[in-house]
Every structure is written in structure tokens, then in C-alpha cells.
Amino acid sequence: MKRQFPVEFVFQIFSLFIALILVHTVYVTLVRPRAAEVLELERQQLAQDATYIPGRSIYVVIRDFEQESCFVLMLWALAIMGYKGTATWRERGLLERELVSVTEGTRILPEDAREYSRRIQALPAPLQRLLLPRCLLTALHRFAATRSINDVTMTAHDLCQAEADRLESELSMIRYIAWAIPSIGFIGTVRGIGQALGLAYQAVEGNISGVTQSLGVAFNSTFVALLLSLVLVFLMHQLQLQQERLVLDTQDYCDDHLIRHLAVHG
């Protein structure tokens, strides 16, 4: 059997490098320079007016390395979900086609299975690897071999269940990223608190700027990580919902367009 080229794996690696380059470029050219300008302006304002209350700038909130890593992972996960979502949309397109054209009242006998199989085998190879053609073709082959409608039903449903399990397992990378983003935020929290404790002597002397800046690192990294994680988990569940609907609709398609038309000689 000819081995398929691991297109999805190559896409994941490529999309990771693209996300890394894009995010780092934005941080180097925009985020960190603007954050430095904001912090410098705040220092000048505080030097002139001790009662000045600095505002929260988005550039300062996201300027640290932990937040940058979170955005890289977020873009990577979005790319993977976009790939899987496109594949799901492509498979759903087949549900609108008459792959097995059977008029109402017509019965498919075991001797007819080969003829109906040829229509599916005439599809382009990439389409034949999709769930619906595989399910129909497997059901027809099973019907020709066993002449049992019950076996055909069980085979089609087992194939759909196996596909559902496969789609579920392939979401593991996205789940890992959804777990990794808050973990990186927590790393930033630990780093910021550690820096603040290291500068505690300055606070005792009356200079709390270093401590507050370090605590800002801690809280900002957690805030950004949790916010991105909420968005990512929501989108992941939407993708999972679409995949589950695809499997269920494929199973219904096989039942309505093929299995209910099967018949054997009494």
C-alpha cells in the first residue's frame, strides 16, 4: 500500500515557524518599542507629579516574553484548527452530492453492489479517502461479501465511530496548546514575583517602582494567558462540534441513501 505524504504534519511545523516569525516581528518592531515609550513617559509624569496615576497600556500588558510565547501558541493553534476546519467543510460538501443515486422504491441486491461501487471508485483519489466515500464503499463491499443487511449496518456505524475516535485523538495537540498557554502565564507569574522579591530591599528604602514593575509582569502574563486560553478552548469546542456533526450526518447519509435500499432475495 502506498504511504501517504504527511501533509498535516508538515503544515503544523510550517505554521509554527510562520507564527513564530510573525509574532516576533510584531513584538520587535511595534510592541516593545511602544511599551518602552509608554513606560518612559510614565516615569517622566511621575517625576513631575507624585499623584499621577498611570493608565494601563496594551503594549505594556503584552510586552513580556511569556505573552509573546502565548500569542505564538495561539496563532499556531488557530492555524491547526483552520486546517481541520477546512477539511471538515470539504467533507461536508460531499453530503450534498448523490454519490449513490437510488430512486425511491428501487432495491439494491448483493449482485448490484459492484456496479454501485464503481461509481464511488470513479471519484478522484483525494475524495475517495474522505469519510463518506469510504463508508459507502465499505458498506457495499460488505454487502456483496456477506449478503447481510445487519452486517452492513454494523460495518458502516463502526467505521463512523472509528472516524469519530480518530478526529477526537487528533485534537490532542490543540488540547496541549490550550493547557500550555495558561502554564506559560503561570511561569511569568512566578518570574515576576521572584523579581519583585529580589527588589524588596528597594521598596524598604522607599523606591517601589522596581517591585511594581515586576508584579506587573506577574499579573499581566497571567491575564493574557487566561484570556487567550478562554478564546482557544471555545474555538476548539466549536471545531469538535462540527466534526461530531459530520460523523453523525455521514452515518445518517449512509442509512438514508444506501442501507434502507438494500434487499436480499427471500
Task: Give one word for 105, left, alpha or beta, with left for phi > 0 and alpha for psi -120 to 50.
Answer: left
Q: How far is CA 52 from CA 45, 55, 56, 59, 219, in A?
A: 7, 9, 13, 19, 21
Whether the pLDDT of residue 1 is over 50: the answer is: no
> Do 112 and 264 meet the contact criterion of CB atoms below 8 Å apart?
no
**Across 119-145, average pLDDT:** 89
What confidence score (pLDDT) does residue 208 get? 52
Is the pLDDT at 164 greater than 50, yes or no? yes
For residues 168 and 246, is the Cβ–Cβ distance under 8 A? no
Question: Residue 2 has what pLDDT?
Answer: 43
Gap between the Cα atoms of 58 and 84, Å rounded: 32
Shortest CA distance to 250 belongs to which of 86, 29, 99?
99
Mean pLDDT of the residues in the chain: 84
53-108 pLDDT, tens digit each: 666 788 888 888 889 999 999 999 999 999 999 999 999 988 888 888 777 777 88
Distance CA 7, CA 207 (A): 56
* Cβ–Cβ under 8 Å, residues 149 and 262: yes
Residue whose grid cell is 460495518: 155
- Mean pLDDT is lowest, of 43-57, 147-161, 244-258, for 43-57
pLDDT number for residue 4: 52
Q: Report the candidate in 57, 24, 62 with the shortest Cα–Cα distance to residue 40.
A: 57
* Cα separation values, 236 from 8, 16, 217, Å: 17, 18, 28
- The structure's pTM equals 0.85
What pLDDT is stored for residue 108 in this prediction? 83
Q: Give tens-digit pLDDT for 176-231.
A: 999 999 999 888 888 777 666 665 555 445 555 555 665 666 788 888 999 999 99
Q: According to the model, what pLDDT value does residue 69 have?
A: 93
* Per-residue confidence (pLDDT) for residue 53, from 0 to 100: 62
Q: Where are the domains of the chain?
A: 7-261
Instruction: Pick the range with the lowest mean pLDDT from 98-107, 128-137, 204-213, 239-248.
Output: 204-213
Cα distance between residue 37 and residue 153, in whole Å: 67
Residue 112 in this model has a pLDDT that exceeds 80: yes
What confidence score (pLDDT) does residue 18 get? Answer: 96
Distance CA 141, CA 116 (A): 10
Sequence length of the chain is 266
Residues 2-13 pLDDT 10s: 445 578 889 999
- Is 204:157 a contact under the CB 8 Å cutoff? no
φ, ψ (nearest 5 deg) of residue 170: -75, -10
What is the mean pLDDT of the segment spanning 234-245?
Answer: 95
**Overall average pLDDT of the 152-167 stretch:** 91
Q: What is the pLDDT of residue 44?
A: 77
Looking at the DSSP bridge assignments, the partners of residue 262 are 108
